[in-house]
């Protein structure tokens, strides 16, 4: 009887051992295949194939599934970072190309006028005066472009500091209209004002002066002879909204979404003819964003354009 029990015990022990060995070998086999797949995909990712992903491993151990999930997550983040880097590189390349083109035009013009004068035209008072005036205008255009480039570079890099305080918007608008009245008269454009009683706003007066100057100047430049620029303000719950409208040529609907991009022009020839740098509206958008605002545009070809933005009258807003 004892011998039978001993044999039964030995048999059970051997059976358990065999079962354990079988399960261990099976477990190792289950880990070996997923681990090989993880290693393969990880190697592919490190070699540049950031689109590679580890597929679902339902048969794998929980720890392996967790590792695979983390690798996929890191690969997703790397893909987004690489795509953003590529986008920024495209933007940088386009920016450099645009800057080079914009600088080249006035520089070549100035060079051409000066070379003509040096070749003998300077001895003709009538010709020399015309060429000197044209060279001077191109120098002014070049200076405006460089100033805009400096501004937008400082804004986008965060180097431009804003000084927020309360000031009278109606007073600022009246001052600007007075200084720009001569320019409007030269183009036979009338400037009308319709200002509400709410005039105190909270913002950077110097930068908002830049915004209004740019918008009013554009409304004058791109208007028609005998046209009108209207500047209106209206009260809103947290402050005031300012609108600059014109009776000019208008903007085609397909261009409206892009007019605040750097160097984007609806009519390149006309824009250059009136002295535009292609950066003014981009600067306007950046400055307004710093004031937690944004420009809204409505336009109809042949009838004119309205650009409106709102400012808060509360420092806590």
- For 175-195, the pLDDT digits (tens) are 999 999 988 998 899 999 999
Model confidence pTM above 0.85: no
Give the model's pLDDT for residue 3.
Answer: 42
* Ranges of the chain with pLDDT below 70: 1-35, 37-38, 41, 45, 48, 50, 54, 56-65, 88, 91-92, 94-99, 101-102, 265-277, 315-317
Rounded distance between C-alpha atoms, residue 212 and residue 72, angstroms? 49
Phi then psi for residue 180, to 5 deg, are -100, 5
Give the model's pLDDT for residue 198.
Answer: 83
Rounded distance between C-alpha atoms, residue 239 and residue 235, angstroms? 6
- The two structure tokens encoding residue 291: 């004031």
- The two structure tokens encoding residue 252: 């085609």
Rounded distance between C-alpha atoms, residue 248 and residue 127, angstroms? 34
Cβ(271)–Cβ(258) below 8 Å: no
3-state secondary structure the chain: CHHHHHHHHHHHHHHHHHHHHHHHHHHHHHHHHHHHHHHHHHHHHHCCCCCCCCCCCCCCCHHHHHHHHHHHHHHHHHHHHHHHHHHHHHHHHHHHHHHHHHHHHHHHHHHHHHHHHHCCHHHCHHHHHHHHHHHHHHHHHHHHHHHHHHHHHHHHHCCCCCCCEEEEHHHHHHHHHHHHHHHHHHCCCEEEEECCCCCEEEECHHHHHHHHHHHHHHHHHCCCCCCEEEEEEEEECCEEEEEEEECCCCCCHHHHHHCCCCCCCCCHHHHHHCCCCCCHHHHHHHHHHHCCCCCEEEEECCCEEEEEEEEECCCCC
Give the model's pLDDT for residue 133.
Answer: 86
Rounded distance between C-alpha atoms, residue 265 and residue 276, angstroms? 9
Rg (CA), the chain: 35
263-275 burial code (b ≥16 CB/10 A, e <16): bbbbeeeebbeee
Rounded distance between C-alpha atoms, residue 91 and residue 14, angstroms? 72
Cβ(34)–Cβ(64) below 8 Å: yes
Give the model's pLDDT for residue 207.
Answer: 93
Rounded distance between C-alpha atoms, residue 20 and residue 27, angstroms? 10
Cβ(64)–Cβ(57) below 8 Å: yes
């Amino acid at each position: 009887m004892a011998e039978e029990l001993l044999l039964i015990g030995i048999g059970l022990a051997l059976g358990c051992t065999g079962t354990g060995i079988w399960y261990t070998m099976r477990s190792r086999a289950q880990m070996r295949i997923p681990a090989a797949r993880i290693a393969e995909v990880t190697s592919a990712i490190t070699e540049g194939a950031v689109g590679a992903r580890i597929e679902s491993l339902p048969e794998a151990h929980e720890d392996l599934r967790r590792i695979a999930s983390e690798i996929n997550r890191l690969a997703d983040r790397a893909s987004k970072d690489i795509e953003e880097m590529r986008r920024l590189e495209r933007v940088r390349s386009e920016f450099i190309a645009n800057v080079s083109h914009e600088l080249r035009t006035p520089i070549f013009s100035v060079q051409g006028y000066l070379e003509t004068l040096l070749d003998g035209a300077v001895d003709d008072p009538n010709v020399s005066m015309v060429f000197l005036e044209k060279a001077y205008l191109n120098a002014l255009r070049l200076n405006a472009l460089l100033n805009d480039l400096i501004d937008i570079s400082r804004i986008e890099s965060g180097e431009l500091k804003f000084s927020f305080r309360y000031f009278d918007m109606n007073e600022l608008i009246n001052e600007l209209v007075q200084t720009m009245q001569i320019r409007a008269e030269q183009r036979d454009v009338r400037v009308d004002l319709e200002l509400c009683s709410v005039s105190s706003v909270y913002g950077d007066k110097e930068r908002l002066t830049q915004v209004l100057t740019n918008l009013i100047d554009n409304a004058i430049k791109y208007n028609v002879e005998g046209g009108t620029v209207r500047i209106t303000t209206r009260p809103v719950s947290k402050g005031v909204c300012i609108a600059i409208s014109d009776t000019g040529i208008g903007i085609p609907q397909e261009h409206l979404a892009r007019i605040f991009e750097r160097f984007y022009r609806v009519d390149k020839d006309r824009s250059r003819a009136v002295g535009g740098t292609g950066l003014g509206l981009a600067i306007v958008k950046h400055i307004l964003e710093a004031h937690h605002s944004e420009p809204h545009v409505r336009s109809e070809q042949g009838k004119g354009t309205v650009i409106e933005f709102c400012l808060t009258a509360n420092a806590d807003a």
